[in-house]
Each structure stands twice: as C-alpha cells, then as structure tokens.
Chains A and B, each alone.
Chain A
Amino acid sequence: MSYPEMPQRPWRQRYHVQAIAWVVGLIILLVLSSWATGANFGMFLANIDQFTVLLVQMSHPAWDYLSVIIQPLYETIQMAILGTTIGAAFAVPFSVLAAHNLVSNKYLRGLIRLVLDLVRTLPDLLLAAIFVAVFGIGSTAGVVTLAIFSFGMVSKLFYEVIETIDMGPLEAMKSVGASKVTIIWYAVLPQILNQFVSYFLYTLEINVRASTVLGYLGAGGIGVYLQRSLDQFNYSATAVIILATLVVVMVIDGISNHLRRVLL
C-alpha cells in the first residue's frame, strides 16, 4: 500500500549522505595524520615479538615482592586522596563561576575559564618536576601536583555538570527572594551532588594511576618502585606493582558504583 500524501525524505537523508561523508572524512584524516607523523604500522608488526617476550616475563609475578610495595602503595593512595580532595574543594567555587547558567557576566566567566584552561594545559609531569624542585623529593610534591592536576580536570567536569541542571528550581528560589548563595545551596547543589561524587571518585582513580608515574620524578609513592623494577628489567616485580594498582583502581570503581546507586 502506498500513501501519496506521505512526505518523502530528500535523497540526502535517505542515503545518509552526511554520516557517510563524516566517516570517509575521518578515515582520510587518520591516514593523513599517520603519514604526517611518520607512525609506521609495519614497524609495529615487525617488533611485536619484543612485546610478547616482555609479556611472558610479566606473566610470572614475583608475589613475595608484594610485602615490599604494600607500604608505598598505601602512601600512593593517601597522596591521591589528599590531592584529589584539595583539588576538588577548590574546583567547586571555580566551576560555579565558570557555568554560563549561573554567571551571566561573560567577562568574569571568560577569565575563570582562561585560568582553568591554563591549569589543564600544564602537564602533570611538568608540575611534578617543578614541585619536586620546590619541596624536595617526597610525597609533598606529589600531593601538590595531584591537587593542581585534579583541580583543572574536576573544575571542567563540574561546570559541565552544572550547565545541564534543571533551571526550574532556581527560578523558584529566586521568586521566594533567595540570595545567590542560598539559590546555589538549595537549588543547584542537590541536583549535582551525586555527579560530583562520581567525578571525584573518577579523578581519584586517575590520580592513583597518575601517581605511579609521578614517582618517576621523585614525587613519592609506588612510582619509585615501578621505576626501580623497570630499570632492573625485573618485569616480574613490575607485574606485581601493576596488579596491585589494578586492585586499588577496582576497589575505587566499586565504591564509586555503590555510592552512585545510593545517592541517585
């Protein structure tokens, strides 16, 4: 049966011209960029046996090494929690000021976003190098680095959450004569709290992993041991460190999932 009155889709829509154009465009970009950067897929395949050699060595974890790394792993977790908490605490006011639905002054908003962009541009390794120079080798440098790194990342995640909230309750609070701070406390915070918690835990998870790398620069934690084992080609010890970190990340992930369910 045909319905002559049924509107016809234009051929561009019918053959998904736009979607196909996007895919083709992306593939071309991919090929061009691999050509421009000299990334060689052939070399990757030719040397893949090196990788398997490494994997074989790592597949025999030296479990007794666990007793050595328990203490630094504990320190790493402490660093990550401290750094993430400090960073996230500073991120809250900044993310409020950067959200376009709360701050109508676009110059203030622009300034705040510029600061946040700048903080995010600084690589964590550079920060760690600077703070190791300032505070000396040890976990203080690590905590400060993680705090600044989390601040930049969490601020952006937070203000993007704020920008998706339902504005209705804000209008209602404004209509009862609430001050700005009260509006944020009563109408914004309850709407974003659970996403804040989940982004906080996500950042914590990233920081546990990041702090393993920061240890390379003397910023404390498990990274020192990771570096040592790699330098000694002691890949069975490396494997233990990686597995132990994996366990920590999985535990945080579990807590995150649980809290999200409870807080939803």
Chain B
Amino acid sequence: MQATATQSDPIISFRHVNKIYSNGTVGLKDINFDIPRGQFLVVVGLSGAGKSTLLRTINRMHEISSGEVLVDNESVSDYKGKALRQLRRKIGMIFQNFNLVKRSTVEKNVLSGLVGYYPTWKCVLGLFSADDRKRAFQALKRVSLTNKLFTRADELSGGQQQRVAIARALMQEPKIILADEPIASLDPRTTKAVMDTLQRLNREDGITVIVNLHSVELAQQYADRIVGLRAGELVYDEDIADVTTAALDRVYQTDSEA
C-alpha cells in the first residue's frame, strides 16, 4: 500500500462538536476525533444516532451549534458563499437515494459534478470543455458504465445509479468522499460492487473515504477504522485490527439496555 501521511496530519478533525436542533433534540454531543489522510473510516450506529449529521457537518450541509470542524487544518465554520462552495467541491458526497436527476442523461449527471469548477453562466449553457467531457467518460469507465453514457438516469438499476453518483463525485477530483448509507437501498450483489468501488478509490487514489453503514459485517470487511455513535455520542473508536464483534455490538444497545 502506498505511503499515507502520518497521524499528525489529519485531513478532518472534530473538536468538541455539538449539534442541538432547534426543537432541543441533541444531534451530536462533544465529538472529538481526527481522521488521518487516506483512511477508510466507517461510522456505525442505530438510525437517529447522528451518523448522517456527523457526515454533513464536514461539508457544512448541516451547521454545528458549537465546537469546530477542521478540514485540511482549517475551520470550516466561517466559510461563506464562494469559499463554502470551494470547500464543497473538493468533497464528494454519495447518498442513500443516489440523488441523481432522473430525467437527465447519465452524462449530464456525471458532468454536474464539475459545476463547482465552472462559472454559473457556463454551467447553464452546458459549456463543458472537450477535456472534461473526456474525463466524464473516464469516470464512467472507472465504475464500468461507459455504455450508459447517453441513457437517462431513471432507466438504470439502483446499483448502476449509485455508480453514476460515484462517477459524479469523481469529477470533483475529491480529497474526501462522504458516503451516507450508500448501500441501504441496494441488494447484496450491487452492495459489493459499490463498496468495492469505494475501496478502490481509497486505495488507488488515496481518497479519504467516510462511510455510514448499518451493517457491522460490511464495516469489518472494508474499514481501516470503525467509529460508533449512540445518541449523538462517540462511544466506539478502534482500528480494524482491534475491532471485536462483541464490543461493536454494544454500539447497538439502546439506552434502556445499556
């Protein structure tokens, strides 16, 4: 495996991060941990434990109430307008429901990953350079879907749609990929295809990958490190070598059982 940076140079850091929703619900409670460059991190926990919220604080799709999130050693809290869009364009995001524009072609969906790099008027007119169109084709090649370039997104199966979504993220040339339950609506075989693709991007391109998962087995299979959330608190954090199934199961205990 290629050399990754040392622990002392984290790509993402959480410092006393709290999130309290306006209705008083606690989303995240004093989260503290670092994510080293190039890590494949899996976040596990029950639904509602705060996994999605945690992921979305990194690219500011969700705001935090207090504390600090650092990306590349810079606090993201004060980013506004253009700076915020520039932060987001280097972080790819994959969703449970794929979030493709279903009526548009696969090519347009993949190219839409680039809009952070183009001025608005060029996006509106669809003026992408010939090089970038070639890159869109290559991105599809990496997820093995080149024959679907001009197919409408809603004609693809779920697994294919998720791979288009990954190709879209690839266009951003991201340093980080955030995947929020990427396989929750897929069958076991396509699950493997999608997880393998994420693993390849992690290993071959050195992209830091953070995945929210329900499945403990999948987490153990793909992760370099597993963290567990329960009711917004970080209750588990181990490198994969030290992960035991018994300890992991405790993440899934409800408060009444704990």
Contact = CB atoms under 8 A, between A and B. Distances in A.
Is B a genuine binding partner of A? yes
B123 A178 contact: yes
For chain A, the bracket of interface size reads 20 to 34
Interface string A157-183: 000000000101101111111110110
Contacts of B168: 172, 176
A175 B112 CA distance: 11
A176 B89 contact: yes
B151 interface: no
Interface stretch (B33-41, B99-107, B213-221): B99-107
Contacts of A191: 101-103
Interface residues of B, number: 33
Interface string B103-126: 110001000111110001001100
Interface string A187-202: 1001101100000000
Given A177-B89, A190-B103, A182 B124 contact: yes
Contacts of A135: none
Nearest to A184: B124
Contacts, number: 82
A75 to B, nearest CB: 36
Main secondary structure of the interface of B (DSSP, over half): helix
A168 B123 contact: no
Contacts of A173: 112, 115
Nearest to A175: B93
B86 interface: yes
A186 interface: yes
A175 B100 CA distance: 12
Interface string A109-141: 000000000000000000000000000000000
Interface of B: 59, 61, 84-89, 91-93, 95, 97-104, 108, 112-116, 120, 123-124, 165, 168-169, 172
